[in-house]
Structure 1
Amino acid sequence: MTRPTVYFVRHGETDWNAEGRLQGTRDVPLNDVGREQAARAGALLQKLGLGCADLDFVASPMLRTRETIEGLRGAIGLDPHDYDVDERLREIAFGQWEGLTWGEIRARDPQGHRASRADRWHYVPPGGESYAMLAERVRPFMEGLTRDTVVVSHGGVARALLALFAGAPKDEAPGVDIWQGRILVFAGGAAEWVPAAT
């Protein structure tokens, strides 16, 4: 059976994104750039010529993803609040590292930082979760989809999906750039970015 197509959107920028801080489970709102990116993603989705009203829309429960999906839907003329939320789409938990930059982590926890670089898929930050754990959390969500779906979630979730459903090597997936304001299409066992609007 063919798996439904997923149109994946990473939430728009927050001030913590701009500062390079790990957000994880922290509820950080979008900034002005992030709100523009949400609208831009909606415009890109519309340019694909899809019957957007016929797609399912699902977001992570985090504030930044809900703000993004509402901005996206509003930009294409749909009811901003008519979407589902799924707990399994939450960002990877960074535990005690949340709120820190990678430079701060390297200074405060050099051993943990080295261990995370040595095995990015399996390493569990203090009080957090690994990409392997995240992948097992999101796998049932993807396997349960029955219709083409717009998913608004997080960079970590996208990286896990790339390893699970698009053939990305697990040792490389955690380092893949996941752009904001763009759409990553998962279809037919592969993933491809929709070209950015010019």
Structure 2
Amino acid sequence: MRDHPTIYFIRHGETDWNRDRRYQGQSDVTLNETGRAQARRNGAALRAFLPAIAEAEFIASPLGRTRETMEIVRQSLGLEPLGYRVDPRLLELSYGAWEGTLQDDVATQDPSGFADRKKDPLRWRPKGGESYADLHARVKIWTDTIERDCVVVSHGGVSRCLRVDFLGLDPELIPQLESPQDRVLILQDRTMRWL
């Protein structure tokens, strides 16, 4: 018997803010053409898992970039694009006052926040935002509720938190884990693989 349902996780496709290395967080930024192509690629990659995933639950973060990615993925699978639900627990980490700021500019615009983040990247919170520890707690609440296999479209921070829980990793690693936008992450039976 499996100890947890399988999660097919897709990070939303690229936005202009991703391309420009701008803190995005919970700002509702749309996909660019590269992001739409990444979503089509990920949908095509998942076709190998049909018909099994057609019976899975499809869930997305409520932001437009995740919903558009999900709809492109579902369309690529030959499924009705709107046949999914949203869950606010899958929202990205809130960067608060840092949202919209270029990553290269943070050190000069908020030197004390930049320094504090380097000291404790897991627990540091930007003004008006969340820490990775906050996000981890929120995502854990969601994972404790899933009862069947699911296809999830969410964000890089959520992907990192899921891997820590599924693989039994040290939460201190959350800020360091990679999170590509052009791959599908499969979390199954306490293992992971990229598709």
TM over 0.5: yes
The equivalent of 1:100 in structure 2 is 101
Length-normalised TM-score, structure 2: 0.95
The equivalent of 1:143 in structure 2 is 144
Count of aligned pairs between the two proteins: 194
SS in 2 for 1:71: helix
**Aligned residue type for 1:87:** P
**Aligned residue type for 1:183:** V
Q: Equivalent residues in 2 for 1:178-197 (5 A)?
A: 178-194=179-195
The equivalent of 1:127 in structure 2 is 128
The equivalent of 1:14 in structure 2 is 15
The answer to whether the 8 A contact 1:7-1:185 is kept is yes
Cα deviation for residue 68 of structure 1 reads: 0.2
The answer to whether the 8 A contact 2:53-2:150 is kept is no
The equivalent of 2:90 in structure 1 is 89
SS in 2 for 1:151: strand
Q: Quick one: distance in 2 between partners of 1:89 and 1:116?
A: 23
Q: Does 1:76 align with 2:77?
A: yes
Identity of aligned residues (%): 44
Structure 2 alignment gaps of length 5 or more: none
The answer to whether the 8 A contact 1:88-1:138 is kept is yes
After superposition, what is the alpha-carbon deviation per residue over 1:89-122, rounded to whole angstroms, capped at 9, x for unaligned? 0000000000112211111111111111221111
Q: Quick one: distance in 1 between partners of 2:63 and 2:39?
A: 15
Cα deviation for residue 50 of structure 1 reads: 4.9
SS in 1 for 2:27: coil
Q: Quick one: distance in 1 between partners of 2:51 and 2:164?
A: 26
The equivalent of 2:54 in structure 1 is 53
Q: Quick one: distance in 1 between partners of 2:68 and 2:48?
A: 21
SS in 2 for 1:133: helix
The answer to whether the 8 A contact 2:62-2:91 is kept is yes
Cα deviation for residue 49 of structure 1 reads: 4.7
Cα deviation for residue 146 of structure 1 reads: 1.0
SS in 2 for 1:40: helix
Cα deviation for residue 177 of structure 1 reads: 1.4
Structure 1 segments (4+ residues) deviating >6 Å:
none
Q: Equivalent residues in 2 for 1:157-168 (5 A)?
A: 157-168=158-169
Structure 1 alignment gaps of length 5 or more: none
Q: Quick one: distance in 2 between partners of 1:120 and 1:109?
A: 15
The answer to whether the 8 A contact 2:26-2:95 is kept is yes
Q: Quick one: distance in 1 between partners of 2:79 and 2:143?
A: 24
Q: Let me know the Cα RMSD of the aligned residues.
A: 1.2
Q: Quick one: distance in 1 between partners of 2:29 and 2:125?
A: 22
Q: Quick one: distance in 2 between partners of 1:173 and 1:49?
A: 31
Q: Quick one: distance in 2 between partners of 1:161 and 1:97?
A: 24
